[in-house]
Amino acid sequence: MNKLAIIGGGGWGTALACVLAQRFGTVSLWMHETDLAATVERTRVNQIFLAGITIPGNLRVTSSLETALHGADIVVSVMPSHVVRVVYTQLLPHLRPGTPLVSATKGLEAGTLERVSEVIRSVVGPAFPVAVLTGPTFAREVAEGKPTAVVAASHDFDLAQNLQQLFSGPSFRVYAGNDPVGAEIGGALKNVIAIGAGICDGLELGHNALAALITRGLAELTRLAVAAGGRPETMAGLAGLGDLVLTCTGDLSRNRQVGLKLARGSKLGEILGSTPMVAEGVKTTSVAIHLATRLNVELPIARQMHAVLNEGKSPADAIRELMSRALRPEAV
């Protein structure tokens, strides 16, 4: 394996390019923004999405999909979930059939309610092996070489194990998994719970509240994942609990920041308009609610987040409603 193509040069795509550049002869990084791609290629820093990190010499940055994908042995895609379908439609003509496609996007597609790997499969058809790469990963920490563990998951376990061998390095430890459904539902849903965690902290509700939210959030992730065909043990792993803990407690989480700011009185439009970076949890919340209805699953925290984000409910009322729901057994 000599060439890796990374499609999507936001914070996470750039960080992955930095850490995986040590593992491949050449890495190409495709960016949506033509001007930014040229600037990053010249200055060797992605000042907009990952300021202060110098990118390695064997990384080529381009805004041409054809150039990025030429000769690629593996493609990792890292664009926001709402553009996955359109970007894959554009890149399909430049892919060699059989090239492994690895999704590092976290989210669900509005309308179809599909997981990102399902969207990719529906665009590219059966000729490409597909995997997901997910887990507790703040882009900046990965780019700084801090120890990080992730999971590469695919229905094709051989592919997951190959990716494990190819991507693992001194600061980047990859576990192989065969439950991409659970891995993707975990990665998408934890962003919704993180908004709730930000609300808890923004309202200064204390550690008990946060611990309860994370735990009941894990129950929601697990219910939805299992109803979608995933396995409960995946949700106890890096893609579930691991990512949930990171996003709910770490201040680098944008979704947690959204909750913090909402609790302190900012309006959603102002919060989202203040940065070019995506907070996937905002879109994922509505999609998760629809998916839960389709699969006949209860997601009380996600429902309250939906009401706060889209129906003008106050964060304090949302927490009050969660605390006054009908009493129930803990398990199930």
Ligand X SMILES: NC(=O)c1ccc[n+]([C@@H]2O[C@H](COP(=O)([O-])OP(=O)(O)OC[C@H]3O[C@@H](n4cnc5c(N)ncnc54)[C@H](O)[C@@H]3O)[C@@H](O)[C@H]2O)c1
188/183 Cα distance (integer angstroms) = 9
Six-digit token string for 241: 């609990």
The answer to the question of residue 139 lying near ligand X (CB under 6 A) is: yes
- How many residues bind ligand X (CB under 6 A)? The answer is 26
Among 3, 4, 6, 9, binds ligand X (CB under 6 A): 9
Catalytic-residue membership of 190 = yes
Give the residue with the Cβ less far from ligand X, 73 or 144: 144
Q: Exposed, middle or buried by CB within 10 Å (0-12, 13-18, 19+), for 232? A: middle
Cβ atoms of 262 and 315 within 8 Å: the answer is yes
* List 3, 106, 190, 261, catalytic entry: 190
Among 3, 4, 27, 49, binds ligand X (CB under 6 A): 49
The answer to the question of residue 28 lying near ligand X (CB under 6 A) is: no
H or E element, residue 222: helix 207-227
The answer to the question of residue 152 lying near ligand X (CB under 6 A) is: no
Stretch that binds ligand X, among 100-108, 198-206, 222-230, 304-312 (CB under 6 A): 100-108
| Chain center to CA of 277 | 13
The minimum distance between CB 29 and ligand X, in angstroms, equals 10
266/177 Cα distance (integer angstroms) = 40
Residue whose Cβ sits closest to ligand X: 10
Closest CA to 318 of 327, 308, 326, 310: 308
Among 45, 83, 110, 236, binds ligand X (CB under 6 A): 83
Interaction residues for ligand X, span 257-316 (CB under 6 A): 277-278, 280
H or E element, residue 310: helix 300-310
Residues that bind ligand X (CB under 6 A): 8-13, 31-33, 49, 78-81, 83, 87, 104-107, 137-139, 277-278, 280
Active-site residue list: 190
